[in-house]
Amino acid sequence: MVSDLVVSIALLAGSVVGLWLGARLFVGSAVRLARRLGLSEVAIGLTVVAVGTSLPEVAVSVGAALTGTGDIAVGNVVGSNVFNLALILGFVALFGAIVVPRSLARRDGLVLFGASALAALVLVDLHLGRLEAAALVLALVAYLFALARAGEAPPTGGEDGEPFRARDPVLLISGLVLVLVSGDTLVGAAVDIARAAGVSEWAIGATVVAAGTSTPEFAVSVLALQRGRVGVSVGNLLGSNVFNALGVLGIAGLVHPLAVDPAALADLGWLLAVTGFVTVSLWSGHRLSRGEGGVLVGSELIRWVLDFLR
């Protein structure tokens, strides 16, 4: 029993590394290929980068939906979004107050809260049907269309201006395969750990699995911070949350209708509270202070404890 748990934990840790490496390979090679094909920066941002940074969430949530583990599929999205804002954004803010452009704070902040509220609304009955999932995907398409009309794209901290390499097609396929295999392994290991440890699949999905699939966002945000591109770091997290709430959740629901544990309601409320806190903080002065970052990080630690105690 103990040996099986150790193996599951090792598989989970290995799959997280695989998700991170696979996403990095996919995004880097896909961006270079897109530039080689003459696609604009907007087109690249709206497609390659957007899909690439959310690829782990897509792989895990769709894989969980296919196996009928709705708590893992939905918990991954809800937990990832809280993790992105509370821990990653809060962690970035601890290094210094985050000042963002007015447009990012106002427009994208409102879109972020709207996407989170819509996701919570369709899940309030603890069920996500295909019709509701289609509405989420259509909302994402409308958002992408609006960005394209404005000539903007979700920002990324990835490699800028790297030349195309002959091995990029191989790296693209390898990255995609690595993400898919790692996502499948992560779901299986998470379910095994939940059963062996006597905790709910929702708790594992909304914490450990969510943190694992958020590794690309964490890497991009820290890299952007190191380069002094704070706006990119924040934009990456806000954009990723919109894609997760509308795209990942919508795609998973289209693949298979999802039912979740009543514990989901508490985390959905937590998501709205954290999202509202970030939105108001950015609106109030287009900045996030170190103190507010500390509050966000502390709230995420509390959420993990409460999820495991339920």
38 Rama sector, left if φ>0, alpha if ψ -120 to 50, beta otherwise? left
Written as six digits, the tokens of 144 are: 């992408």
Residue with tokens 């899940």: 123
Q: Model confidence over 233-272: pLDDT tens digits? A: 677 788 889 989 999 999 999 999 999 999 999 999 999 9
Higher pLDDT pick, 14 / 183: 14
What confidence score (pLDDT) does residue 158 get? 47
Is pLDDT of 38 > 80? no
Which pLDDT does position 57 carry in this prediction? 87
Start-to-end CA distance of the chain, whole Å, equals: 23
What is the structure's pLDDT at 92? 84
For residue 76, the tally of other CB atoms under 10 A from its CB is 38
The total number of residues shown for the chain amounts to: 310
Residue 186 backbone dihedrals phi, psi, to 5 degrees: -65, -45
Q: Which residues of 207-237 are buried (b: 16+ CB within 10 A; e: fewer)?
A: bbbbbbbbbbbbbbbbbbbeeebbebbbbbb
Q: What pTM, to 2 d.p., does this model score? A: 0.83
pLDDT band at residue 81 using 50, 70 and 90 as cut-offs: very high
286 backbone dihedrals φ, ψ, rounded to 5°: 55, 35
- The token pair at 301 is 């630690």
Instruction: Find tokens 């799959």 and name the residue.
Output: 15
In this prediction, what percent of the chain has a pLDDT beyond 70?
Answer: 83
Who has greater pLDDT, 252 or 145?
252
Q: Is the pLDDT of residue 47 over 60?
A: no
pLDDT band for position 162 (cuts 50, 70, 90): low
CA distances from 179 to 56, 105, 130, 173, 301 (A): 6, 32, 25, 10, 27
Most confident of 150-159, 262-271, 300-309: 262-271
**pLDDT level of residue 48 (50, 70, 90 thresholds):** low
Q: What is the widest separation between alpha-carbon atoms in the chain?
A: 56
Beta bridge partners, 259, equal 127
Residue type, 249: L
- Nearest C-alpha neighbor of 51 from the set 76, 22, 73: 22
Lowest mean pLDDT among 59-73, 124-138, 153-167: 153-167
Mean pLDDT of 6-28: 82
Pick the range with the lowest mean pLDDT from 89-98, 152-161, 249-258, 262-271.
152-161
Between CA 25 and CA 305 the distance in angstroms is 34
Cβ neighbour number for residue 160 with a 10 Å cutoff: 9
295: pLDDT strictly greater than 60: yes
The answer to whether the CB of 133 falls within 8 A of the CB of 254 is yes
Residue range 295-304: mean pLDDT, rounded? 93
Query: Going by DSSP bridges, is the β-strand pair 127-128/258-259 parallel, antiparallel, or unpaired?
Result: antiparallel
Q: What average pLDDT does the segment 68-96 reach?
A: 90
**CATH homologous superfamily of 2-309:** NCX, central ion-binding region (1.20.1420.30)
Which run of H or of E encompasses 147? helix 130-150
Distances (CA, A) of 126 to 11, 39, 119, 131, 135: 30, 41, 11, 15, 17
pLDDT of residue 257: 95
3-state secondary structure of 159: coil
> What mean pLDDT is reported for the chain?
82
Q: What is the mean pLDDT of residues 24-30?
A: 76
